[in-house]
Amino acid sequence: MELKIASWNVKLNGLSGKIKLGNAYCNEMRDLIRSFDIVGLVETRTTVQSNIKLPGYSHLSKHRRKRCKKGRPSGGLVLYFRKKLKDAISLVGGAHEDMMWIKVDGVTVGLNRDLYLGLVYIKPGKNKDIFHQLDRDIVQYSSLGDIMLLGDFNGRTGSSDDFIRNDSSKDVPLPPQYAEDSNIT
């Protein structure tokens, strides 16, 4: 089975209004979601009370407890998946409020290995704790199957390198297939 997977930051007015309203933009968004088997949405601004149901899809969601200064919800993660995939999808982790890990059972969907989806929203600014947790989770889940990261990492490098210089397994345990930097003499 071929899986079509997408990710989208839906910030603007939050997810609830975009799914329920009857305007052309909302219809377009629903149609876009329906063209995929699995869709990870970040910055959904949803709460436990939000009605985010979409016909033909099940969903897993995670909501921030803290609201922004304006009193509205902030952050939020929603993973939609076709109902036919319900037996293949399970929530396996998410120690951070802006991250969740989902296992897609490889046998059920015809993959060679299980697939671990990390749905992540990293708010702008200094967020070392989420990066440390993400590193630990990548090491853990990559030893169990294939991984795919979805979401918004708010990565801005400016004039800095967008890669790790002189990386090695001394700092973070790396999977065996990872090629460390080496010096050429």
pLDDT tens per residue, range 49-93: 777 788 899 999 888 776 666 666 677 899 999 999 999 999 998
**Full set of structural domains in the chain with CATH:** 5-152 (3.60.10.10)
Amino acid found at 138: I
β 38-42/5-9 pair status: parallel
pTM to 2 decimals? 0.76
Residue 38 burial (10 A CB sphere; 0-12, 13-18, 19+): buried
User: Can you read off the two tokens belonging to residue 145?
Assistant: 């199957």
Question: What was the pLDDT predicted at 119?
Answer: 96
Q: How confident is the prediction for the chain on average, in pLDDT?
A: 80
CA dist 132 and 120 (Å) reads: 13
CA dist 54 and 139 (Å) reads: 33
